[in-house]
């Protein structure tokens, strides 16, 4: 629940920030009559994201075991790629997001009625589809051990918290250091994504697409009780498996180490204050 709660919180807060920017700008520019178009677009985006998640969860169940594993592995890898792009994009574009969205609103407001609906669909729908895919991948990784309802409840609670925070931010009731928030949650999501990636590789091994299913890097199942609280915690957050293949371990290291390094270095560069402009003494006449 914890991992999926944080995923839902971060992704939900991104969507909530986008919606609050759209709504606040229309209200401040005295164009509140256009708000229904924004809410229609948000509703469509949410419905499409829920439908996409439903299709992911129930779609492959009638297929063979190998086909299910192949689809699960491929979609898990796609989810990791999307969430990695999202982590770096949000960290880089957070400061300019408001201005970019306002420009889109101004252009759409002068166009046909559905233009604003489309702006809201694209702005919120992207976050929703990414969230549905990544939550599905994270849920599939632990479903055999914990069932399905716990990860989904965690995600729902995270999204609900994000909606409340978004409303409070819009009302000016709270202030959040978004740079630190996205840095810490981004680093956490990289670790979660590393687990999802290794799980996807394991799925492809079980489907017979990748080799090395029985070539284990370690087997601590005799030491680590899979039913213990710490094993459940490690499995739920980082997808740790007492029996890990060599390929899973190698892929995890090759993803987490360079991605985490690049992310922390870029965060450190962004946190440095801009150098003050050079001043030249005024010549004395």
How far is Cα 118 from Cα 116, in angstroms, rounded to an integer?
Answer: 5
- pLDDT score of 170: 78
What is the CB-side half-sphere exposure of residue 108 using CA atoms within 13 A?
Answer: 25
The residue to which tokens 């609103």 are assigned: 105
**What was the pLDDT predicted at 273?**
60
How much is the pLDDT for 185?
A: 81
Tens of pLDDT, residues 253-276: 999 999 999 999 988 887 666 555
Model pLDDT, residue 255: 95
pLDDT digits (tens, 9 = 90+) for 146-186: 555 677 788 888 888 888 888 887 777 567 677 777 788 88
Positive or negative, the CA dihedral 111, 112, 113, 117 is negative
Q: Rounded to whole angstroms, how far apart are CA atoms 93 and 101?
A: 11
Lowest mean pLDDT among 33-42, 85-94, 275-284: 275-284
- Would you state the pLDDT for residue 281? 56
Q: Where are the domains of the chain?
A: 1-270
* 3-class DSSP assignment, residue 244: strand
What is the CB-side half-sphere exposure of residue 138 using CA atoms within 13 A? Answer: 33
Dihedrals φ, ψ of 98, to 5°? Answer: -60, -50
Q: Does the structure show a pLDDT above 70 at 84?
A: yes
pLDDT in tens, 202-239: 999 999 999 998 898 888 877 877 667 677 667 766 77
- Which pLDDT band, with edges at 50, 70 and 90, does 282 fall under? low
Per-residue confidence (pLDDT) for residue 47, from 0 to 100: 92
Cβ neighbours around 131 below 10 Å, total: 27
* Residue with the larger pLDDT of the pair 8 and 245: 245
Higher pLDDT, 199 or 270: 199
pLDDT at 142 over 70: no
Give the tens place of pLDDT for each residue, 12-64.
888 888 888 788 888 878 888 888 988 999 999 989 988 888 887 777 667 78
pLDDT of residue 209: 92
Is residue 156 classed exposed, middle or buried when 0-12, 13-18 and 19+ CB atoms within 10 A define those classes?
Answer: middle
CA-wise closest residue to 37 among 89, 112, 90: 112
For position 256, what pLDDT does the model report?
A: 94
């Amino acid at each position: 629940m914890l991992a999926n709660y944080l995923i839902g919180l971060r992704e939900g807060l991104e969507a909530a920030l986008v919606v609050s920017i759209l709504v606040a700008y229309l209200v401040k520019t005295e164009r509140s009559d256009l708000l229904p178009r924004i809410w229609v677009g948000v509703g469509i985006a949410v419905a499409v994201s829920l439908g996409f998640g439903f299709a992911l969860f129930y779609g492959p169940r009638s297929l063979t075991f190998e086909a299910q594993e192949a689809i699960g592995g491929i979609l898990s890898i796609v989810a990791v790629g999307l969430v990695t792009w999202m982590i770096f994009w949000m960290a880089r574009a957070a400061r300019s997001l408001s201005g970019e969205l306002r420009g889109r609103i101004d252009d759409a407001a002068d166009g046909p009625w559905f233009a604003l609906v489309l702006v809201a669909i694209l702005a919120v729908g992207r976050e929703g589809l990414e969230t549905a895919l990544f939550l599905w991948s994270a849920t599939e990784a632990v479903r055999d051990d914990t069932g399905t309802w716990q990860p989904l409840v965690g995600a729902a609670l995270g999204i609900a918290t994000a909606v409340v925070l978004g409303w409070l931010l819009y009302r000016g009731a709270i202030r959040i250091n978004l740079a630190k928030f996205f840095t810490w949650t981004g680093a956490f999501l990289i670790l979660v994504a590393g687990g999802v990636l290794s799980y996807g590789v394991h799925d492809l091994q079980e489907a017979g697409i990748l080799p090395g299913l029985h070539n284990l890097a370690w087997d601590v199942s005799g030491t680590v009780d899979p039913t213990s609280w710490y094993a459940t915690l490690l499995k739920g957050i980082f997808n740790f498996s007492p029996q890990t293949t060599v390929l899973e371990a190698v892929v995890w290291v090759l993803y987490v180490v360079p991605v985490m390094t690049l992310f922390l270095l870029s965060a450190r560069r962004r946190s440095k204050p801009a150098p003050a402009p050079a001043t030249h003494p005024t010549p004395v006449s």
